[in-house]
Structure 1
Amino acid sequence: MKTLKTLFTVAVLVVTVSFANAQSDKTERTIGIKTEKIKVSGTCGMDKRRIETAAYSVDGVKSAVWNEYTQILVLKYSVFKKDAGDKAQRSIASAGNDTEKYKAEDAVYNKLPDCCHYRTMKM
């Protein structure tokens, strides 16, 4: 009888720990997180690093992943920082890459490495 109680106690403990670990997985947490897809111009891996770094510099941004082929930034930020999406776009534009809402200043854009120039030349 004593071994049965011990076995039951261990089983309950294992199940409790498993549920506790599943609840604490922060990578899958979506409550309080807003996801936004933003078109951001760029051409290369250097742009990717610049765009994601600029987005992460904004308070409230939890995740920023830019795809150079689709030119879409998937931005996740706290719902308590309602202006984080707009601030991220401003930060990206100030770093030299155009977004849906903001265009980078020509002086900043021209200082980017040649491989990062995505604007077409007008003739």
Structure 2
Amino acid sequence: MKNILFGMLLLVVTLSAQGQDTRSGAELSEAKKNKNAKYTTEVNGNCDLCKKRIEKAAFSVAGVKSAIWDVDTHQLSLILNEEKTTLLDVKKAVAKVGHDTDEVKATTEDYDKLHGCCLYDRK
């Protein structure tokens, strides 16, 4: 009788262990990172000079594969390798060159360095 109970217990433990993912939380989050993640975010600016500056700042971040800023809609469309960077890293780089994003604001000092035609209305 003990052997039967022990055998059944061993079977249950073996079957339940097979269904579990043994990777750590860090490994699981690393496995889910997308090498071609697409994002769109708002970036303030006015003109083609802004466009060049914003796109150059985005491309300065390792892992940015594509960066296109639309003058009319103020939308920055990105393709990122999430194994190398995050959307927040790109927003910080863009803010560093004087352009406010929806999440990261440029310092007054960085904003004041912009060309006269690039000085957008700050919210």
Q: RMSD across aligned C-alpha pairs, in angstroms? A: 1.6
Structure 2 matches for 1:1-123, cutoff 5 A?
32-81=35-84, 83-119=85-121
Q: Which residue of 1 aligns with 2:17?
A: none
Residues 59 and 84, structure 1, Cα contact 8 Å, conserved in 2:
no
Q: How many residues align?
A: 90
Larger Rg: 2
Unaligned regions of 5+ residues in structure 2, if any?
Answer: 1-33
Unaligned regions of 5+ residues in structure 1, if any?
Answer: 1-30
Between the aligned residues of both structures, percent identity stands at 37
Q: Alpha carbons of 1:120 and 1:97: their partners in 2 closer, same or farther (altered >3 Å)?
A: closer
1:51-85 Cα offsets, whole Å, 9 max, x none, are 0000000010000000010000001011323x431
TM-score (norm 2): 0.69
Residues 37 and 73, structure 1, Cα contact 8 Å, conserved in 2:
yes
Shift of 1:96: 0.3
Q: Moved runs in structure 1, 4+ residues, more than 6 A?
A: none
TM-score (norm 1): 0.69
Shift of 1:107: 1.1
Q: Partners of 1:87 and 1:120 in 2: how far apart?
A: 21
Q: Which residue of 2 aligns with 1:6?
A: none
Q: Partners of 1:64 and 1:91 in 2: how far apart?
A: 13
